């Protein structure tokens, strides 16, 4: 097992402030209507739970699990659904809630996939917009935090399934 350190990047209080700001915007943008929120498992589970409790518009919550496949460990852009949503999104306003957008390939594929079910609208909300490695242009309508790079864990995000339970965001740094 390779040794690594966790370097603090975003404190829990800072995360909560960013969520407050996002929720104000979402409540305002969807006023008078309702929303289906699709959380992308597993990484988004904490972000989604903290976000929906700030929303005053009517919301329904569902989850999808997406797996990227292909030879390399990097995102290949080939995505499959390993757990699908159960609600009908036809003619509904949909908000996809993601933990982090990196290359953008996963969310671009999923946006495209959802369009065949004819929702009224689809937007994307991501806790972290990590932009250095972006390969496709994806609209991130609501971004909590913009970071250039780094492999991040905590607040739902994992490294080999560990560290999802940390209340803040940390960067994984490998020992030289």
In whole angstroms, what is the distance from residue 117 CA to residue 93 CA? 12
Question: Does residue 20 carry a catalytic annotation?
Answer: no
Q: Which is nearer to ligand 5GP, 4 or 159 (CB)?
A: 159
Q: How many helices (H) and strands (E) does the chain have?
A: 3, 9
91: left (phi over 0), alpha (psi -120 to 50) or beta: left
Contact between 36 and ligand 5GP per CB under 6 A: no
Report residue 72 as tokens. Answer: 């390399």
Q: Which range touches Mg ion (CB under 5 A), out of 29-37, 39-47, 121-129, 168-176?
A: 39-47
Question: Of these, 124, 153, 166, 169, which contacts ligand 5GP (CB under 6 A)?
Answer: 153
> Is 48 among the residues that bind ligand 5GP (CB under 6 A)?
no
Q: Is the peptide bond before 42 cis (omega within 30 degrees of 0)?
A: yes
Residue 64 is a binding residue for ligand 5GP (CB under 6 A): no
**Beta strands at 59-69 and 78-83: parallel, antiparallel or unpaired:** antiparallel
Using CB under 6 A, count the residues that bind ligand 5GP: 19
**Which residues are at the interface with ligand 5GP (CB under 6 A)?**
43, 75, 98-107, 130, 151-153, 157-159
Q: Which residues are catalytic?
A: 102
């Amino acid at each position: 097992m390779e040794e690594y350190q966790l370097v603090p990047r975003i404190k829990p209080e800072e995360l909560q402030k960013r969520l407050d700001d996002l929720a104000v915007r979402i409540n305002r943008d969807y006023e008078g209507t309702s929303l289906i929120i699709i959380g992308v498992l597993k990484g988004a589970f904490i972000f989604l739970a903290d976000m929906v409790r700030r929303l005053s518009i009517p919301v329904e919550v569902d989850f999808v699990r997406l797996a990227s496949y292909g030879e390399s460990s990097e995102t290949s852009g080939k995505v499959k659904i390993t757990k699908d949503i159960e609600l009908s999104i036809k003619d509904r306003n949909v908000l996809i809630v993601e933990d982090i957008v990196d290359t953008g390939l996963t969310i671009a594929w999923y946006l495209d996939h959802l369009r065949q079910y004819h929702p009224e609208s689809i937007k994307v909300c991501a806790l972290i917009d990590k932009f250095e490695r972006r390969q496709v242009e994806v609209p991130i309508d609501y971004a909590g935090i913009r970071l250039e790079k780094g492999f991040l864990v905590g607040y739902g995000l994992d490294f080999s399934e560990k560290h999802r339970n940390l209340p803040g965001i940390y960067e994984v740094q490998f020992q030289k």
